[in-house]
Every structure is written in C-alpha cells, then in structure tokens.
Amino acid sequence: MNQQPGTVSLAQIEGAINHWRERRPPADAEHPVLCAEARALADVYGLMIFRGEQSVERSTLTEQQHAALAAAAL
C-alpha cells in the first residue's frame, strides 16, 4: 500500500495493535485488557473507523502513539 510519508494507514495501526497483543497478551484471559501501547493505538484506530478515514497524519498522533508504532517497527 503506497502511503504518503506523513501518513499512517488504518492497516498499519491495526498491524501494530496486533503486534502488541501478541507481544503482551493479557494476564487474565477471563478479563482481557490491552497493554498501554495497544490501548494508545486503539484510541486513534477507533476514531479512524468512526470517521471513515483510511489514513491519518502522523503529526496528529500523540508521543505515546508514535512510540508504540515505532516499537512495532511500522
């Protein structure tokens, strides 16, 4: 998928969330909770879905969201 350098796609954010879900699964399977990195990305992911956006400007992401994406190597 060709993305502009200043944007991150919905698929990239979803991939990063899945990376964190695999890397840091919930300790309690009966009461699953996303780790902090996945939660941060889930916020922007949810807004993108609500707004029907396929990509978002990297400049609009928080510091925590940037870090979570970078650490997931996306």
Determine the Cα–Cα distance for residues 31 and 69; give it in Å rounded to an integer. Answer: 25
| Predicted pLDDT of residue 31 | 84
Q: pLDDT per residue over 9-34, tens digit each?
A: 999 999 999 999 999 988 888 888 99
Long-range contacts of 62-69 (CB under 8 A, 24+ apart): 64/36, 64/37, 64/40, 65/40, 65/41, 67/37, 68/16, 68/20, 68/37, 68/38, 68/40, 68/41, 69/8, 69/12, 69/13, 69/16, 69/41
Q: Which residue has the higher pLDDT, 48 or 25?
A: 48
